[in-house]
Copies of this chain bind each other. A is one copy, B any other.
Amino acid sequence: MQETSGSAERQLAAGNLLYQAGQGGNAWLLLEGSIRLDRPEVRDESGFAGIAIKGDILGAETMLLGNYTYTATALTPCKLTRWPEGSSQPEPAALLKALSSAERRGADAVAMRCGEAATRVRRLIALMAATSSSRQLSRLMLPALRDMAEITALTIGTVSRILVQLQAAGDLARSETRRGRPRNTALAKPNFL
């Protein structure tokens, strides 16, 4: 929780919650990392509704509706900042940019559910790689298997098998996998005060 009160910036560890559907709050610009969006209706099911990567705007709907439509959770470590930066009203040009990146990201999300399992996982990895600086993506910089499975509409087992294949083929850096109990940086821990 390295956040000073009133700061416009925010850091988020992988797996942590940025905001929850229904809450009030401001929009965010994602400076680093990747975030998944989930529809609130579906409780235990996947609920996956979209993804955001570096440069995308999240939660712009609060400026219209007052509260968030989706729940946002970090897939990888994230850095964010309030949006829009200075003014409380975004410029039309900035809104257009947000709109067109939202459309592109929607298309990306659809594409990650298209074709064979290996293709889909490959596409997800490619998207994450666009976020990352290094070209050879390490296993540690990927989202949890569960997230990858829900994004690609596959099962955890299938994603695991495919990652093994990709590592064997040299398409993915072989590295330690992230197991064990996640940090209890609590999905539900309120971030205000």
In the bound assembly, the distance between CA atoms of A95 and B153 in angstroms comes to: 31
**Mostly helix, strand, loop or mixed at chain A's interface?**
helix
Does the CB pair B114–A153 fall under 8 Å?
A: yes
Given contacts A90-B92, A113-B153, A102 and B99 within 8 Å (CB-CB): yes
In the bound assembly, the distance between CA atoms of A132 and B74 in angstroms comes to: 37
Decide yes or no whether A98 CB sits under 8 A from chain B: yes
Of the four ranges (under 10, 10 to 19, 20 to 34, 35 or more), the interface on chain A belongs to 35 or more
- Contact flags A106-129 to B (C-beta < 8 A → 1, else 0): 110111011000000000000000
In the bound assembly, the distance between CA atoms of A37 and B109 in angstroms comes to: 14
Does the CB pair B106–A103 fall under 8 Å?
A: yes
| A103 → chain B closest CB, angstroms | 5
| A108 → chain B closest CB, angstroms | 9
Does the CB pair A96–B64 fall under 8 Å?
A: yes
Question: How many monomers of this protein are in the complex?
Answer: 2
* Contact partner, A48, options B49, B60, B110, Cβ 8 Å: B110
Which residues of A, 124-172, contact B by the 8 Å Cβ criterion? 153
In the bound assembly, the distance between CA atoms of A88 and B95 in angstroms comes to: 16
* Contact partner, A92, options B69, B89, B104, B107, Cβ 8 Å: B89
In the bound assembly, the distance between CA atoms of A100 and B12 in angstroms comes to: 24
In the bound assembly, the distance between CA atoms of A48 and B107 in angstroms comes to: 8
In the bound assembly, the distance between CA atoms of A49 and B110 in angstroms comes to: 6
Decide yes or no whether A186 CB sits under 8 A from chain B: no
* Contact partner, A64, options B70, B93, B109, B113, Cβ 8 Å: B93
In the bound assembly, the distance between CA atoms of A98 and B60 in angstroms comes to: 11
